[in-house]
Structure 1
Amino acid sequence: MGRTARPSLSERASEAQLTSAGLPRLSFATTADTPVEQLLAAGDRPLPMNGLCPPDMASIDDRFCVDKYEASLVEIMPDGREQAWPYYLPVEGHVVRAVSEKGVYPQGYINEKQAIEACGRSGKRLCKRAEWKTACKGPESKKFGYANERTPGTCNDNGKSGMSLYFGAEIAQGSAWTFDKMNDPRLNQVPGALAETGSHEGCTNGYGVYDMVGNLHEWVDDPAGTFQGGYYLDVTQLGDGCGYVADAHKAWYHDYSTGFRCCADVAP
């Protein structure tokens, strides 16, 4: 996927001890036997903020931090090494953590519980509903973030449909909308469907967050099982842009359209 190799967990832990105070670094437990056990034993680890957000996150009026980009994933191997996770595959049975990075395809095919865990492994958390909407609308509180009226194509909101391409006959028969078909790895690989993070440069606001409208639905931390913002085929059916809310799915549900981004608290 064009990413350079990432340092191991132990290397990142050592880096945290060497950097100057105040920089946002992750810390890791040292009582478990393996790097993965250390990571899982540590649980959610808040980033040391000192009133600031790390470079991959935007400050929302100094109240909380939100990832600038929709989450992509790295897989944590048993020996602690990390490798890029294919954005078009579900993550069941794998240990992954969230990354906020420009110019990569974000992760679909993920459910709310998995998103919560992936954020926690990066010292972050899933955004709350109100936080997500505030970040999406921007400091000027606009319906689509960039404006109060939608301009098609400013965000990735008019993409190609992989479901129509691969399952057109089944759609006509009413038999296409199954869990297996909607998790087909080919769907988000269709040219003109999913977009790389930050590639729609106008799809932002004064906070400097990208793609909160369109591209992928984004899970939020809500027991009702809620994702917001629409995706590359629809940003209006369940509300306009930042007001788009889908809350009819269980937290275990995922399909090609479900993604997420993380938030974090600002230290007092």
Structure 2
Amino acid sequence: MNRHPEIALLCFALLLVAACGEDPEECPSGGETIKISAPSFKEGFEFEIDRYEASRFDANAASEGSGREIACSMGGVQPWRTVSFKQASSACKAAGKRLCTRSEWIAACGSMGLENHFPYGRNYDRTACKTESVEPGVTGATPTCATQVNDIMDMSGNLREWVVGTGTEMPGLAGGGFSDPELNASCTNVISPSGGTDAYNPGKGDGFRCCK
């Protein structure tokens, strides 16, 4: 006869958690976030932005992974795509970050005071980034698609990236995706879904990166 039924019940509960629970999602060490400080661009304009497009914690070069909670910044992995604005916001928050604002994203892409139209310079080069292609690539796979300042990767093409608006601005998708031509792949190109973010059905060219 069990003299301590409460202990037996506790042990059963712990075994059930061990059998059915999942380990919390954590990003591998080495995720890179770049600090941007440009008082000459705008007084007090300082933030941090991920070097790479967001990926799931268990992504690799062949697979996006299956994580649903936390956004990571890793090179050489499949980016997290077909993601809604709400999902992107939640994944950044889980990482202790947030989605970038339009002004932050555009400033980082254009290398601040250089005011580049594309991460790599003022003139479009269809081979510099993952544009006019049939599929997105792994994060950071194209060395020429780095910003001239800070080496932030894939801000033109590969995946369109969710950004938040400030004031009267609407949230939108910045920088163009893997299939987009020159016009859509510039640093200043931000497209806001006409029906709002809740009604928008994300495609495989839609992703994000985080700021803080």
- TM bucket (normalised to shorter chain) is 0.7 to 0.9
Q: Which amino acid aligns with 1:72?
A: S
Structure 2 residue runs of 5 or longer lacking an equivalent are 1-21, 39-45
Alignment-derived partner of residue 12 in structure 2: none
Alignment-derived partner of residue 255 in structure 1: 203
Contact 1:198 1:211 (8 Å CA) reproduced: yes
Q: 2:73 aligns with which of 89, 100, 123?
A: 100
Report the Cα distance in structure 2 between the residues aligned to 1:99 and 1:234, rounded to whole angstroms. 25
Contact 1:109 1:259 (8 Å CA) reproduced: yes
Q: Which amino acid aligns with 1:196?
A: V
Kindly tell me the number of residue pairs found equivalent between the two proteins: 170
Q: 1:158 aligns with which of 105, 119, 132?
A: 132
| Gap change, CA 1:151 and 1:237, over 3 Å in 2 | closer
Give 3-state SS (helix, strand or coil) of 1:149's partner: coil
Structure 1 residue runs of 5 or longer lacking an equivalent are 1-33, 40-53, 75-82, 161-192
Give 3-state SS (helix, strand or coil) of 2:187's partner: helix
Q: 1:61 aligns with which of 32, 37, 51?
A: 37
Does 1:146 pair with 2:120?
yes
CA RMSD of aligned residues (A): 2.5
Alignment-derived partner of residue 87 in structure 1: 64
Q: Which amino acid aligns with 1:67?
A: D
Contact 1:229 1:235 (8 Å CA) reproduced: no
Q: Which amino acid aligns with 2:95?
A: S
Alignment-derived partner of residue 189 in structure 2: 244
The TM-score, its normalising length taken from structure 2, stands at 0.72
Contact 2:53 2:139 (8 Å CA) reproduced: yes
Contact 2:124 2:182 (8 Å CA) reproduced: no
Contact 2:36 2:47 (8 Å CA) reproduced: yes
4+ long deviations beyond 2 Å: 83-89, 222-225, 235-238
Does 1:204 pair with 2:187?
no
Report the Cα distance in structure 2 between the residues aligned to 1:200 and 1:35, rounded to whole angstroms. 33
Q: Which amino acid aligns with 2:182?
A: T
Residue 35 of structure 1: CA displacement?
7.6
The TM-score, its normalising length taken from structure 1, stands at 0.58
Larger-Rg structure: 2
| Gap change, CA 1:95 and 1:244, over 3 Å in 2 | same
Q: Which amino acid aligns with 2:205?
A: S
Q: 1:217 aligns with which of 146, 160, 164?
A: 160
Contact 2:172 2:192 (8 Å CA) reproduced: yes
Contact 1:137 1:143 (8 Å CA) reproduced: yes
Alignment-derived partner of residue 70 in structure 1: 53
Alignment-derived partner of residue 106 in structure 2: 133
Q: Which amino acid aligns with 1:233?
A: S
